């Protein structure tokens, strides 16, 4: 039943279409034929043109995503250095070295005002390690 009503509807729509196409003026019919030819040529365009139309936005989206990832990098957070690291960074010596830093390696000449103090400090450290 549904199939029969669909067929009658299709036949009636075709008849109305053919009647309307006969009643068109020649200028409108020419424009419609030109539009149809243009649409058919565009549909038959080479596949690489259609592929390019698809890949261009995808490539642009990928480039924007990459740029966003490069900009949004977590910042490196420097933790506060330990006193031994600060000493080795400022004087150029390690914390295990008991001698005062060389004048060329140091930026602070005040360290050399009390060389006797450094001598005493080195001797007390030696005595403290020997007592253990």
Asked if residue 89 is part of any domain, the answer here is: yes
Asked if residue 100 is part of any domain, the answer here is: yes
Q: Which helix (H) or strand (E) holds 5?
A: helix 2-22
Asked if residue 107 is part of any domain, the answer here is: yes
Residue 118 banded pLDDT, cuts 50, 70, 90? confident
Percent pLDDT > 70 in the chain is: 61
Per-residue pLDDT tens over the stretch 53-63: 788 888 899 99
- Mean pLDDT value of segment 72-90: 61
Asked if residue 32 is part of any domain, the answer here is: no
What per-residue confidence (pLDDT) applies to 15? Answer: 93
Give the domain extent around 110: 83-131
Asked if residue 104 is part of any domain, the answer here is: yes
Asked if residue 55 is part of any domain, the answer here is: no
Q: 2 pLDDT exceeds 70?
A: yes
The per-residue pLDDT of the chain, averaged, comes to 76
Asked if residue 48 is part of any domain, the answer here is: no
| Both structure tokens of 84 | 């031994």
What per-residue confidence (pLDDT) applies to 8? Answer: 94
Asked if residue 98 is part of any domain, the answer here is: yes
> Domain total for the chain?
1
What per-residue confidence (pLDDT) applies to 40? Answer: 87
What per-residue confidence (pLDDT) applies to 37? Answer: 93
Residue 107 banded pLDDT, cuts 50, 70, 90? low
C-alpha 17/C-alpha 85 separation (Å) is: 90
Residues of 13-52 as b/e, b for ≥16 C-beta within 10 angstroms?
eeeeeeeeeeeeeeeeeeeeeeeeeeeeeeeeeeeeeeee
């Amino acid at each position: 039943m549904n199939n029969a009503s669909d067929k009658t509807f299709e036949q009636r729509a075709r008849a109305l279409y053919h009647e309307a196409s006969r009643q068109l003026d020649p200028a409108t019919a020419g424009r419609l034929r030109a539009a149809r030819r243009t649409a058919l040529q565009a549909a038959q365009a080479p596949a690489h043109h259609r592929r390019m139309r698809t890949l261009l936005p995808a490539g642009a989206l990928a480039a924007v995503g990459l740029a966003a990832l490069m900009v949004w990098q977590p910042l490196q957070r420097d933790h506060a250095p330990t006193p031994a690291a600060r000493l080795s960074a400022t004087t150029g010596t390690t914390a295990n070295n008991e001698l005062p830093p060389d004048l060329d390696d140091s930026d602070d000449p005040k360290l050399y005002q009390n060389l006797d103090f450094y001598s005493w400090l080195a001797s007390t450290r030696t005595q403290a390690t020997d007592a253990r």
